[in-house]
Amino acid sequence: MAKKEQEKEKKEFALPPENYKYIAIGFIIIVAGFLLMLGGKSEDPNVFSEKIFSFRRITLAPVVVVAGFIFEIWAIMRKPRKQEE
């Protein structure tokens, strides 16, 4: 009996598989936010480019990243629904 209990303990993860799916989705949201920040480089280094101050880079991307982190916290703290046996 002791072996079965040890095997059962080894197979259990800290979170249910559904939470790991949500964590992966949150990670993708965070990466998307950082990808939105890319760009705005000037073609000529001697000329200043106003592209770095676009709505996408200054407002949208940080909001998406923060939303991704909030989603990650929710995914980790989320309790799974009780499955009826």
Six token digits for residue 40: 């705005």
Q: Which residue has the higher pLDDT, 81 or 26?
A: 26
pLDDT in tens, 9-60: 566 778 888 999 999 999 999 999 999 999 878 888 888 888 889 999 999 9
DSSP secondary structure code for residue 58 in this structure:
I
Alpha-carbon gap, residue 56 to 33, rounded angstroms? 10
Residue 4: its pLDDT value, please? 64
Alpha-carbon gap, residue 84 to 65, rounded angstroms? 36
Alpha-carbon gap, residue 63 to 30, rounded angstroms? 10
Alpha-carbon gap, residue 44 to 59, rounded angstroms? 25
Output the pTM of the full model.
0.77
Residue 42: its pLDDT value, please? 80
